[in-house]
């Protein structure tokens, strides 16, 4: 990933966090973890986590329903000449890391 891609990903992550916080119904906490930039900036995947876990499916459906509106929001911010095609996904890597932390804290002596 190039420095330009990293900067673009960071900016899209900030905008996604702002947009999702503003548009969500606040039945869950949606936290944007990072954005992966693909195809030289033509595609972006916003990865996020949801609390409580039981609301993950609803939050993912909400985010995916709002993709085109979010893309318009990004375009309006003029961070680049065009907004990439955007998708949302649950960050499974972060979920796995949290599970490992949970298991290792259970195994440690007190």
Place of tokens 């990903």: 9
Per-residue pLDDT tens digits for 25-76:
888 999 999 999 999 889 999 999 999 989 999 999 999 999 999 999 999 9
- 96: alpha, beta or left? (left if phi > 0; alpha if psi -120 to 50): alpha
Domain that holds residue 11: 3-107
pTM: 0.86
| Number of domains the chain contains | 1
CB 58 within 8 A of CB 88: no
Residue 95 belongs to domain with CATH number: 3.30.300.20
Per-residue pLDDT tens digits for 64-94:
999 999 999 999 988 777 889 999 999 988 7
CB 87 within 8 A of CB 71: no
């Amino acid at each position: 990933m190039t420095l330009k891609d990293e900067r673009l990903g960071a900016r899209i992550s900030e905008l996604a966090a702002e947009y999702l916080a503003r548009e969500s119904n606040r039945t869950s906490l949606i936290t944007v973890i990072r954005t992966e930039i693909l195809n030289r900036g033509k595609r972006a995947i916003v990865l996020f986590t949801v609390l409580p876990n039981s609301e993950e499916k609803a939050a993912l459906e909400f985010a995916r329903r709002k993709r085109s509106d979010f893309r318009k929001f990004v375009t309006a911010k003029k961070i680049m000449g065009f907004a990439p095609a955007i998708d949302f996904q649950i960050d499974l890597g972060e979920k796995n890391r949290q599970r490992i932390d949970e298991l290792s804290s259970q195994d440690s002596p007190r």
